[in-house]
Every structure is written in structure tokens, then in C-alpha cells.
Amino acid sequence: MANEQTVVAVTNAVAVILPSVIALIKTLAAKENPGAPPPTDAEVKAVLASKLMASLAVDDAWLAANPDAPTT
């Protein structure tokens, strides 16, 4: 019983850490190329708009998948 609970606890720990590790890898992979020209205003604003849309889509998807959750 204790072993099963430990396995659940460790699984939970891995499940929580994994998204952070993925975010870390994405951050490192997104590092700019030092030789690349600096981004223009239009490019930076396009990236912002894209990030906003993608992030809001995740919010909406989670809220749609959990419609009955209490709000308090």
C-alpha cells in the first residue's frame, strides 16, 4: 500500500516537473542566433500577437474542458 502511494507521489512529481523541463528546452531552443539581424518592430509585434493568440487558446481549451468547476 505504502509502495503504491509512493509510486503515485513520484509519478505526480514527474508529471509536475515534466512541463517545466519542456518549457526549459523550448526556452533554450528559442535562443537567438548571435549572427542574425535584430528583429524589426513589425516582427516583434507579430511574435507578440502570435503568443497571445496561442496562449489564450490554451486558456479557452482548458476552460471548455472544465466547464463545471466552481469559481469560488
Partner 1 sequence: MTRDLFYTRVERASYVIILASALVLLVVWVAGCRPAPPTLSPEGKAAFHATRVIQVLDVFRDAAIAANSVTPPIVTTASTREVVLWHKTALKTIAAVPTGWQATVKAGLFELTCHPMAAPLPPPAPPPPCTPRLKPGEVEKLIPYVGLALVVINEVQ
Q: List interacting residues with partner 1 (CB under 8 A).
A: 1-2, 5-6, 8-13, 15-21, 23-24, 27-28, 30-31, 38-41, 44-45, 47-48, 51-52, 55-56, 58-60, 62-63, 66, 69-72
The three cell numbers of residue 27 are: 526556452
**Shortest approach of partner 1 to residue 48 CB, angstroms?**
4
**Shortest approach of partner 1 to residue 23 CB, angstroms?**
5
CA 47 – CA 45 distance, rounded (Å): 5
Q: Distances in Å between the alpha carbon of 65 and those of 38, 39, 52, 72?
A: 40, 37, 20, 18
